[in-house]
Structure 1
């Protein structure tokens, strides 16, 4: 597998994350979504993207961070993600989107600090302008059993 060169960098709380630019379909401003009954806490609902229903996941909650209200910088990133071996559209709500950029050097593997912390959803850690950037493994981020997106985005 060739290493990704360009990433969309985004902020969640005080952390800097990145996703491969090849997986990003579009970046939208916040919009109302249709809530689904009995959905997991991080599943906000569905939005219409060019006539297709797309599930929206709160990236803060998915990563175990506290919830936050939308701001002027909040964005919804529509992505292509492999869920159960099928490519599907899924959207992430992030606090802000910064830029499309190359990282400074190769990715390092995520740090292992014990069995209670899972790094499965982290493709690696890079740097951009001296700051650490956590590159998300989108397929792993959505492979968890509690993802309702797999059923809804079919």
Structure 2
């Protein structure tokens, strides 16, 4: 057994994804957003989270999936990327699990239509469960982070 990493599991387009707990600030219910002009379509806008303006993007749109209706299960996972916080809209946030780092394999070139650069790896959990771990710094690439920082100002 290697080290374990705590991961928040969330659903997106019928797949399970994970992001390390230490990168997650909070998980929020959907709330009204203020649209920001001249941003990519997957950036849905900004929310005021306890006095902090946080840009929010739809992960479905980020990865080129069909948009889905938001439901009672839809969540905004607030993550920290570098020194900015960003909200990621996901279909649902399910649980927190421990993943053995030995069970994480390098991602193939494309998983479920998502390019490998967005992925940290694929974790095998038990006999029949695969968890796609996101590489947050690539999900928000540098130029987008600069755009998001400008939103915050």
- Contact map agreement 1:23 1:81 (CA 8 A) in 2: yes
Structure 1 residues 47 and 3, CA, compared in 2 at 3 Å: closer, same or farther? farther
Structure 1 residues 153 and 128, CA, compared in 2 at 3 Å: closer, same or farther? farther
One of 88, 91, 102 as aligned partner of 1:92:
88
**3-state SS, counterpart of residue 65 of structure 1:** coil
Unaligned runs of 5+ in 2: none
Instruction: Determine the C-alpha separation between the residues in 2 that align with 1:43 and 1:3.
Output: 35
- TM-score in terms of structure 2 length: 0.87
Task: Considering fraction of residues, name the structure with more helix.
Answer: 2
- Contact map agreement 1:44 1:58 (CA 8 A) in 2: yes
- Contact map agreement 2:57 2:89 (CA 8 A) in 1: yes
- TM-score in terms of structure 1 length: 0.86
Q: Stretches of 4+ moved more than 6 A in 1?
A: none
Q: Which residue of 1 aligns with 2:54?
A: 54
Q: Which residue of 1 aligns with 2:135?
A: 137
**3-state SS, counterpart of residue 44 of structure 1:** strand
Q: Which residue of 1 aligns with 2:63?
A: 63
When the two chains are superposed, the root-mean-square deviation of aligned CA atoms in Å is: 2.0
Task: Considering fraction of residues, name the structure with more strand.
Answer: 2
- Contact map agreement 2:42 2:57 (CA 8 A) in 1: yes
- Contact map agreement 1:4 1:20 (CA 8 A) in 2: no
Instruction: Determine the C-alpha separation between the residues in 2 that align with 1:62 and 1:153.
Output: 20
1:52 offset after TM fit, Å?
0.5
Unaligned runs of 5+ in 1: none
- Contact map agreement 2:118 2:136 (CA 8 A) in 1: yes
Q: Deviations over 1:105-137 (max 9, x none)?
A: 521001136xxx731110000023422111001
Instruction: Determine the C-alpha separation between the residues in 1 that align with 2:97 and 2:65.
Output: 25
1:4 offset after TM fit, Å?
6.0
1:143 offset after TM fit, Å?
1.3
Structure 1 residues 123 and 68, CA, compared in 2 at 3 Å: closer, same or farther? same
**3-state SS, counterpart of residue 120 of structure 1:** helix
Q: Which residue of 1 aligns with 2:105?
A: 108
